[in-house]
Amino acid sequence: MRFFNTEGPVRPEDHYLVSPLARLDLDEILLLIERKKYFVLHAPRQTGKTSSLLALRDLLNGGEAGPCRAVYVNVEGAQAMREDVGLAMRTILSEMGSEARRSPGDEFLDGVWPDILERSGPGAALRESLARWAGAGKAPLVVMIDEVDALVGDSLLSVLRQLRAGYPDRPDGFPQSVILCGVRDVRDYRIHSGAGREVVAGGSAFNIRAESLRLGDFTPEEVSVLLDQHVEATGQEFTGEARAAVWDLTRGQPWLVNALAYEACFRSRTGRDRSRAVCEEAIQAAREELILRRETHLDQLADKLQEERVRRVVEPLLAGGRGAGVRPDDLQYARDLGLVRRDGPVAIANPIYREVIPRDLTWITQEMAITDDPAWYVAADGRLQAPKLLAAFQEFFREHSEHWVERFQYKEAGPQLLLQAFLQRVVNGGGRIEREYGLGRGRTDLLIVWPLAGGGDEAGVADAAPRPAQKAVVECKLLRGSVERTVEQGLRQTRAYMDRCGSAEGHLVIFDRDAERSWEEKLYRREESAAGVPVTVWGM
């Protein structure tokens, strides 16, 4: 049985898949190769770059795109050699030799590259090897170099400059076309050269780049194609709400789409019952499992949050700030990583990433600082007592905010993060939090979804009786200007968010970061009305 793939390149015999070639602008790529261009294909991790390159290699070698010899080389192994150019080049050439052995007529390189390295030295061995390889056959050579931006410092610089040096000799004496593949566009590389003690821009080291192509996420139609393959293979349907949830939570990020579907269909006990359709509850449960298990993809994403250039982009997003100090190259880097969406207003790429980021940044706080038992805040009828929960946080914030906010790397968003840590610790007992934040919003929107006791089977069973859910909106704002003006604006925003979420319960939290005001002035609770709907305002 085929399944949803979350590790490595897709294999048609093993995996449900969206055609890797269909995801490329194949006409443009073939035209670039025909015109002997060197170009870049980049995309965030685990979006299908390697699968697309391997499919392109097979297409070219199959003769469907004209006479060609295409080879795929992954150079990630040389990352461990850091700036030792000699060892890095030995690793790269060894990998190229192994690939050449798989190509009929090109086996010679597997036996001669050590001699080339010894005679030419690491600073010219790649150029000489590619020159001999290109001249060894009648068909032009196309080389695809994957994970090139995993190389470090002088090792990366040497590869780029040797490719540039051989460029004038193509196609007879050098590859007709070279495709560099990685997370980032080569023009965005900032190569720290240890030997030269300088920072070299990738664009200057590889100024022969003709184009930079980006592999996009799945479209809604491609998500449906992927899910339909499971339906066809097993007869197990996805409800319309489940399909919508897969798209809404992932926005087409390929690994997330596959991971959610695999979790819901193959790991969940009820999901393995093919007679039952997968419903929205199954997808939401799968989302939570992926986050709690800190799957490798999400763990790598969280690790990037520690980088200063990522912090400079993400921190004002979390705080709802204006982002006036965000640097263009930092924003481009965050987009290349897939953290920030490419189009429209600057925002986190998808709801799962929006969930992972604050939870990861506050994990230690949740585990070490917050000891409240979720049962303290659950009434006899099973409802979450949000006012009691926020009153407890108000006291916690007074006693501990100075200490814990200072411990955050993301201090600008410290109060919002501390509130989210507190809520998450409690809500983990049975509900979930949905988050919305972004540049220029001036607020952070939180929606607590708390399942209530009722009919139903294990989450994810479409034919179980629906379980009602309590929804409570918590709107967070920083005090800017007068209290009354901030409250007035916040009430309108809270009411609008309540309407959108279908919630009858609303809370507005105002954080006052003025060190000159006393806690007696900052702390208050009052009942207000927004367009006739009651909203509780909490000062902190």
Summarised one tens digit per residue, pLDDT across range 175-216 is 999 999 999 888 777 777 776 667 777 677 788 888 999 999
List, in order, residues 6 or more apart from 486 with CB less than 8 Å away.
477, 479, 480, 510
Report the alpha-carbon angle 283-367-253, nearest 5.
Answer: 30
State how far the Cα of 495 lies from the Cα of 473, in Å rounded to an integer: 9
CATH number among 1.10.8, 1.10.3470, 1.20.120, 3.30.70, domain 220-293: 1.10.8
Task: Tell me the one-letter amino acid at 365.
Answer: T
Fold of 26-214: Rossmann fold (3.40.50)
**What is d(CA 359, CA 463) in angstroms, rounded to the nearest whole number?**
32
Per-residue pLDDT tens over the stretch 3-35: 999 999 999 999 999 999 999 999 999 999 999
Measured N-to-C along each axis, helices 26-34 and 49-61 cross at an angle, to the nearest 10 degrees, of 60
Q: Which residue ranges make up each domain of the chain?
A: 26-214, 220-293, 349-539
Of the candidates 416, 434, 410, the residue with the CA atom closest to the CA atom of residue 509: 416
String of DSSP letters for 355-417? HHHHHHHTHHHHHHT----GGGGB-TTS-B-HHHHHHHHHHHHHHHHHHHHHH-S-GGGHHHH
pLDDT value, residue 456: 42
pLDDT at 459: 46
CB 127 within 8 A of CB 165: yes
Closest CA relative to residue 278, chosen from 255, 292, 262: 262
Confidence (pLDDT) at 65: 61
Which stretches of the chain drop beneath a pLDDT of 50?
Answer: 455-463
pLDDT at 192: 72
CB contact burial 422-438 (16+ within 10 A = b; e otherwise): bbbbbbeeebbbbbbbb
Retrieve residue 451's tokens. Answer: 């399942």
Tokens of 165: 């040096």
Question: If you ran DSSP here, which 8-state letter would residue 268 be given?
Answer: S
